[in-house]
Each structure stands twice: as structure tokens, then as C-alpha cells.
Amino acid sequence: MLRLGLTGGIGAGKSEVSRLLTSYGAVLIDSDRIAREVVEPGTPGLTAVAAEFGPEVLTADGALDRPKLGGIVFGDPERLRALNAIVHPLVRARSAELEAAAGPDAIVVHDVPLLVENGMAALYDLVVVVDASPGTQLDRLVRQRGMAESEARQRMAAQATREERRAVADVVIDNDGPLEQLEPQVRAVWQQLSERAAAGN
């Protein structure tokens, strides 16, 4: 098994890279998706979040009110740490289950937005960073996702810097250009990964 950590700043295009890798045959373990699953209604994770942040972070039907919780934690490192202390162990446990089910010959891609921020690079055989300039990130967040520029800048500032991400990268995929320039790069990376996996890492 080849274990890959995939990361990139918000708006860099990491989701597109993970989609391409999956289409070539990678097993994707998406930390963001798992992070949502572990706080769904009825889970111990949601119970713990509500106990920590109060019932006001729940919607009327008992689901997590993400915008409300985001408003509490994004500007407050202390509250963000409290949230991460609840969610991260649950995500790690579920990721380990999914990885174990992937099989010994699999190329497993762990899509981890905060890989650098949480010091997780050493957990993987290789770290792939999807890289785009801050200007490109900002443009995509505002134009494609409809974020206010101030919110986009705040989200970007809350993450590791471009330099910090590149410092832990074994492979950098440049996604500053249009989508059609991305696919050949990702295919070439997949070829390298497949060769490495076949050779036993």
C-alpha cells in the first residue's frame, strides 16, 4: 500500500486533483467528508460538539449549524483547538478503518486540507501539494464559490502559507492555470505513484 497525503490551500484545486486520482484508480479518504460524517445527528461527535459549544450550534432539527459554529471558531484559535480536539480523533479513527479496507496493493490518497497545520506530513509515504498563487486562490473563491473577498482572505489567512505547504511537499502540482493544464500533470504523478507502488514503495 502506498499512502499519500494530498493537501493544498483553499481554492487551490485539491478537490479536482483528488477526483482525477480517484478516476485513475486511487482509493480516496476525504478528511472533510469524514469530518462531516462524524458530527451527523445521533453521533457521539455531535453530542460532544454541542456539549462544548452549547445548543445554539444546532439547527431546529438537531443537525450541526455549520455557519454558526464557523462564526465561533474561525476568528478564535482557542475555540478552534477545542473543536479540533473533538473532531480530529474521530476522523483519524474512521480514516484508519477505511484505509485498512483498501487492500495491500492500493494507492490510498488521504485528502487532508490541514495536513501542514496539524503537522501530519510524517504520517504518509508521500505528500502531494496542490499549489496556486494567493491571487488565483482568491479569484476562485470569490468568482467560483461566491465568497465575499473579506471572508475568502480570512479563510486563506487561517491556513498555512504557500511556503509552509511547499516545504513539506514531495510532489508539487501547479494549478495556477486552466483546468486542461492540470490533468496531464496529475496523470504523470499517478504514473510515478503506480510505478512506486509496484516496486513496493
- CB of 44 closer than 8 Å to CB of 159: no
1-26+106-201 has CATH 3.40.50.720 classification: no
Same fold, 1-26+106-201 and 32-104: yes
Q: Structural domain boundaries of the chain?
A: 1-26+106-201, 32-104
Distance CA 21, CA 12 (A): 16
Mean pLDDT by 10 residues, the chain (201 residues): 95 94 96 94 96 95 94 90 94 93 93 91 96 94 92 91 96 92 96 90 60
What pLDDT, on a 0 to 100 scale, did the predictor assign at position 201?
60
What global pTM score does this model have? 0.84
CATH number for region 32-104: 3.40.50.300
Q: Residues near 185 by Cβ (< 8 Å), separated by ≥ 6?
A: 173, 174
Q: Residues near 101 by Cβ (< 8 Å), separated by ≥ 6?
A: none
